[in-house]
Structure 1
């Protein structure tokens, strides 16, 4: 079998197909775990024949599976395998794991480690109260970046274009204290930068307060965060600055282990 040479024309077609496949993958989410052909067609705006062809191709490589009598589609196992492999090889998890355990022990609260995917804070590691050593999170689970301490600790150090994109995606209200006003969110993120740590005052989950700090890569860019989380009576307002110092110290230690120095940041 002869290989087809890559030309400028078919190379462009390949890139366009990859972009379209990415659009299809983004149609799925916690509130849309399975979708019909018509639903994918409506969400992407692609012609129905194109949508069917792309879904068939993605099914062949394991990115998509068919469910419910073949009339519904869902994300495929191959994506989970690739995500798990990515997390397993992630320097962040390897370097941060002992610090996650230490922070949980010192604070006496749950600790979460997250990376940023452009819109959400995606959990990489967690240490819950009364559990064993922290371990790799084997399900790709994301949290809103605008109303969680792990998310705001990252978002506060991203550019205006990223903040605008998060706002454009919608500021859903989860609790009475969720910040849904874009201007108030920007003020909150500015305050996070001033303090060095973020605060979630029951904005995502009722009766739960969280404090988070940013983690930097070797070049100084904020790409991850770590937080302490507990019930409001365990994390009252007067305890927040103490936990803030703890998460900043832990985040700084992890950042340095990843190669970051104040000189690199400058």
Structure 2
């Protein structure tokens, strides 16, 4: 392959990626005109790229041929990625253990830049935890899993989330940017986040950040349940549980905790009901 051919290939891949990014949870299908408007590509270019992406399974076209949607091949690749993700392999026994100790639902999430994407879920009355095959994204500013990640990102990331909009899901959702910044500071100080029914009514959540080998927070783990069970009196014990579990997973991924932090962590105990 010549240098010119490589350059053209990279350019085409970049354009295809731009087309994929036109689709969102709310815009599941798009017309050629809508894709053209969002990418700025000429109609002929957008049509040619869509035809190629359709051929390889990245894009599907409705029977009426007027609207496009993401293809099944992307789901297959996403599932393959999750199945080979070190996080899921290392975290699975700890997800199960946390569910047993807390008696609540446990979620494991990764950060995609704007959302917390669920990759594992465990309930006490279910079998061993497994990949969440229907990949879902949760807002990072109003969920326990999201806030545990967002609090440890750089300022630019926080401001990008704020700029994207702070939609109110319940009366408890934090929609004021300054209040959210203060909440992030409080989360960093505690070492764990708290969702006081901010995303779903009567559902509270406690979560802690998971770090990679370099110490960067890229994921989180949480326990969640009805507000009457995840009560203010129970939060400190659950906080200890999720922090210890998150730290254990982080160490399995190659992270080394600072000496003082490692010494301060005591073994978790079953959360009181």
TM over 0.5, shorter chain: yes
Question: Normalization by structure 1: what TM-score?
Answer: 0.93
Partner residue, 1:238: 233
Partner residue, 2:16: 21
Partner residue, 1:62: 57
Q: Offset at 1:129?
A: 4.1
**2:202 is matched with which residue: 189, 196, 207?**
207
Deviations 1:72-100 (A, max 9, x none): 11111111111111100111111111110
Partner residue, 1:109: 104
* Residue range with higher mean Cα deviation, 184-193 or 128-137: 128-137
The DSSP-based 3-state class of the residue aligned with 2:207 is: strand
Partner residue, 1:186: 181
Partner residue, 1:6: 2
**1:151 is matched with which residue: 146, 168, 176?**
146
Q: Map of 1:69-88 to 2, 5 A cutoff? A: 69-88=64-83
- Whole-Å Cα distance in 2 between the matches of residues 176 and 44 of structure 1? 36
Deviations 1:127-152 (A, max 9, x none): 12422211111122111111111111
Partner residue, 2:161: 166
Kept in 1: contact 2:213–2:250 (CA 8 A): yes
Q: Offset at 1:10?
A: 4.3
* Residue range with higher mean Cα deviation, 232-241 or 256-265: 256-265
**2:38 is matched with which residue: 22, 37, 43?**
43
**2:171 is matched with which residue: 157, 176, 188?**
176
- Whole-Å Cα distance in 2 between the matches of residues 133 and 142 of structure 1? 22
Kept in 1: contact 2:120–2:130 (CA 8 A): yes
2:85 is the counterpart of 1:90: yes
- Whole-Å Cα distance in 1 between the matches of residues 112 and 99 of structure 2? 25
Deviations 1:191-243 (A, max 9, x none): 10000000111111111000100001111111110000101111111111111
Aligned-residue CA RMSD (Å) = 1.7
- Whole-Å Cα distance in 1 between the matches of residues 173 and 258 of structure 2? 36
Deviations 1:2-44 (A, max 9, x none): xxx331x444443333222222112212212211112222232
**1:228 is matched with which residue: 223, 226, 229?**
223
The DSSP-based 3-state class of the residue aligned with 1:262 is: coil
- Whole-Å Cα distance in 2 between the matches of residues 174 and 161 of structure 1? 24
Q: Which runs of 5+ in 2 are unaligned?
A: 262-273
The DSSP-based 3-state class of the residue aligned with 1:59 is: helix
Distance 1:171 1:19, change over 3 A: farther
Q: Map of 1:241-252 to 2, 5 A cutoff? A: 241-252=236-247
Q: What number of residue pairs does the alignment pair up?
A: 260
Q: Map of 1:248-259 to 2, 5 A cutoff? A: 248-259=243-254
The DSSP-based 3-state class of the residue aligned with 1:237 is: coil
Question: Normalization by structure 2: what TM-score?
Answer: 0.90
Partner residue, 2:116: 121
